[in-house]
């Protein structure tokens, strides 16, 4: 039996993105079963161990390559995204920025901002994609404010300093507006600054991050919407490329870019920017109470708007009726419970305001195109089309 290939994985275990990359590499290994790997607990800023440049191994997949390692002669696949032009495979950051802009624009926002990290190539690319998409829309009301500070190294601000500057920047932008944060870490920092200044999220400021780090997004207040990169796909493709290199095959030196999978919509963008206060209040009431089994009459009574006005303006802004919006909110909540709990469909139906589980099945299939059971199975299998089935 041929000896197993000895492979070093220099991928951070401290971030959700890095862990998803490792999941993709693991999927490749399970299909081929001929690698023995070295992996240490690490973060993105740690340099490779010095001994690795003289290691008698077979290959390396790296998100943190030193000059010594690059010149060591080992088969190497780069998946770093902190510098331009080095990665063999990485996420398409421009497409990530464009998807975030599209998500926010669809919600009616016409004033935008980008909050990133200075000197980080991946953040710069996301900013360019975000701004380019907004410029292509050509709407005179579109604008984009920018705020970037160092993430690591010299010039890094303390937490208090960063929060003060973030708060001042946010306060200077006329509300309502929408912010793309370059990643979920920055998104949580923006949300904290909004809370400190008393800005309502998402009513005053909508915020979207990147990476869909589930723990971080749900720890945020309110829960943070996030673009879902195909990090697992990056890991799997990197493993394929390294396997080819270890067989002596050539690998293209140009970067292979993997597009994002969709947007995980949570409360930080789960609204529509509507200038009419009565209709905005009605939609806020729906978002807060839809899962209590409310009717359109309940919305009218609690939002100080006539039924005819509500019907006409909700159709204008959302392209659906108020009743359809109630169902949309109920099904979004159903999707979240199917993804994150093991509750029965009968129990989920009750929690989401459906009197009978059978009616939940009918409504869910009509809106999502799949049954609750199919959705739960897809979600359990990984980030597939179920991830963004109700986005937009």
Cis check: omega of the bond before 65, within 30 degrees of 0? no
DSSP category for residue 201: T
* pLDDT at residue 390, as a whole number: 54
CB atoms within 10 A of CB 31: 9
Q: Let me know the angle formed at the C-alpha of 360 by 354 and 365, rounded to the nearest 5 degrees.
A: 155
Cis check: omega of the bond before 297, within 30 degrees of 0? no
Please indicate, yes or no, whether residues 210 and 288 belong to a single structural domain of this protein: no
Contact 271, 208 (CB under 8 A): no
Please indicate, yes or no, whether residues 62 and 30 belong to a single structural domain of this protein: yes
Please indicate, yes or no, whether residues 246 and 216 belong to a single structural domain of this protein: no
Burial 181-199 (b: 16+ CB within 10 A, else e): bbbbbbbbbbbbbbeeeeb
Please indicate, yes or no, whether residues 172 and 237 belong to a single structural domain of this protein: no
* pLDDT at residue 382, as a whole number: 57
Domain of 105, CATH number, reads 3.40.50.2300
Please check whether residue 383 lies inside any domain of the structure. no
Please check whether residue 392 lies inside any domain of the structure. no
Quickly list DSSP for 48-65. Answer: PPGGGGG---SEEEESS-
Please indicate, yes or no, whether residues 70 and 142 belong to a single structural domain of this protein: no
Please check whether residue 318 lies inside any domain of the structure. yes
Residues of the chain with pLDDT under 50: 140-141, 383-388, 391-392
Please indicate, yes or no, whether residues 235 and 194 belong to a single structural domain of this protein: no
Single out the residue of 321, 281, 271 nearest to residue 301, CA to CA.
Answer: 281
CA–chain centroid gap for 98, Å, is: 12
pTM above 0.85, yes or no: no
Please check whether residue 387 lies inside any domain of the structure. no
Please indicate, yes or no, whether residues 136 and 196 belong to a single structural domain of this protein: yes
Please indicate, yes or no, whether residues 23 and 102 belong to a single structural domain of this protein: no
Domain of 81, in residue numbers = 5-90+231-259
* Total number of domains constituting the chain: 3
Please indicate, yes or no, whether residues 255 and 372 belong to a single structural domain of this protein: no
């Amino acid at each position: 039996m041929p000896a197993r290939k000895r492979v070093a994985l220099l991928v951070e275990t401290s971030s959700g993105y890095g862990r998803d990359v490792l999941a993709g590499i693991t999927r490749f290994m399970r299909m081929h079963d001929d690698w023995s790997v070295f992996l240490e607990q690490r973060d993105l800023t740690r340099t490779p161990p010095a001994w690795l440049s003289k290691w008698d191994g077979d290959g390396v997949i790296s998100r943190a390559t030193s000059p010594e390692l690059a010149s060591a002669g080992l088969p190497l696949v780069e998946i770093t995204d902190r510098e331009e032009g080095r990665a063999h495979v990485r996420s398409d950051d421009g497409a990530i920025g464009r998807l975030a802009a599209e998500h926010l624009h669809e919600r009616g926002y016409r004033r935008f901002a980008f909050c990133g990290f200075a000197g980080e190539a991946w953040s710069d690319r996301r900013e360019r994609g975000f701004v380019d998409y907004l410029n292509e829309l050509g709407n005179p009301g579109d604008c984009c404010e920018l705020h970037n500070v160092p993430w690591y190294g010299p010039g890094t601000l303390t937490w208090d300093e960063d929060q003060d500057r973030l708060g001042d920047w946010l306060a200077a932008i006329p509300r309502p507006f929408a912010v793309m944060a370059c990643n979920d870490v920055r998104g949580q920092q923006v949300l904290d600054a909004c809370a400190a200044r008393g800005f309502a999220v998402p009513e005053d400021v909508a915020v979207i991050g990147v990476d869909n780090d589930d723990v971080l997004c749900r720890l945020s207040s309110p829960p943070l919407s996030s673009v879902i990169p195909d990090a697992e796909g990056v890991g799997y493709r990197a493993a394929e490329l390294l396997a080819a290199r270890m067989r002596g095959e050539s690998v293209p030196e140009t970067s292979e870019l993997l597009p994002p999978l969709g947007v995980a919509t949570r409360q930080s963008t789960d609204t529509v920017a509507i200038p009419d206060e009565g209709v905005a209040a009605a939609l806020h009431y729906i978002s807060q109470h839809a899962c209590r089994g409310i009717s359109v009459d309940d919305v009218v009574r609690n939002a100080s708007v006539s039924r005819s006005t509500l019907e006409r303006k909700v159709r204008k802004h959302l392209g659906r009726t108020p009743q359809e919006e109630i169902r949309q909110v109920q099904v979004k909540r159903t999707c979240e419970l199917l993804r994150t709990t093991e509750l029965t469909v009968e129990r989920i139906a009750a929690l989401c305001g459906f009197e009978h589980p059978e009616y939940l099945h009918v409504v869910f299939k009509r809106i999502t195109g799949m049954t609750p059971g199919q959705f739960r199975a897809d979600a359990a299998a990984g980030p597939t089309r179920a991830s963004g089935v109700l986005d937009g």
